[in-house]
Chain A
């Protein structure tokens, strides 16, 4: 009964490849997020969806394309992977829109991506 799950947990791939990370939440939340955490543990938001609608799109290379088939799922596809994409990618969800009263965010276990 995991709240926010991600697959895969580890992903090792070569430069130039295309890969996807999947995220699912069973909390009934309306808002989902993708974060990138670098080697210095800096956690930065990439995208946010509310009820399948993209509401936050940070300055992220367009090689990164999120997709939300329904409000319980948020996937991240990365084209033409580069060395600098190596990081831990976290999916998260929250009850409501981020701009309202603070709704705590529930994070998935993370996907450690290593590009060689």
Chain B
């Protein structure tokens, strides 16, 4: 079966850097994605990694190590508006996107 693990919550202060980890177990691997969801809002796509290494998009970066079945989302220069839930997701061989349970990030002033 497929499973993903990520911390349930993380707290950080404005301006800081935070890393949200995700470990996964899947039958077949087609990439690791990250989505952001604000309270009451819809999930929005942040990043995707198919190959090992770091992908940077502005203040957000995402990393993947396929040999370790591990990835992380790195958020730099945290802002209050970054307070949200962050989900890692993997695509399985059947074509489904399997989401982790989500990490609730609270950014404090």
Contacts and interface: CB of A to CB of B under 8 A. Distances in A.
Given A107-B42, A110-B42, A98 B91 contact: yes
Interface residues on A, range: 20 to 34
B44 A107 contact: yes
Interface of B: 30-31, 33, 37, 41-45, 48, 50, 85, 87, 91, 93-99, 101-102
Nearest to A106: B45
Contacts of B37: 41
A104 B91 CA distance: 11
Most buried by B among A48, A90, A102, A109: A102
B28 to A, nearest CB: 9
20 contacts: A33-B97, A42-B101, A42-B102, A43-B43, A44-B99, A56-B95, A97-B95, A98-B96, A99-B91, A99-B95, A102-B31, A102-B33, A102-B91, A104-B33, A105-B45, A105-B97, A107-B44, A109-B42, A110-B41, A110-B42
A54 interface: no
A45 interface: yes
Nearest to A91: B42
A66 interface: no
Given A98-B96, A109-B42, A110-B42, A43 B33 contact: no
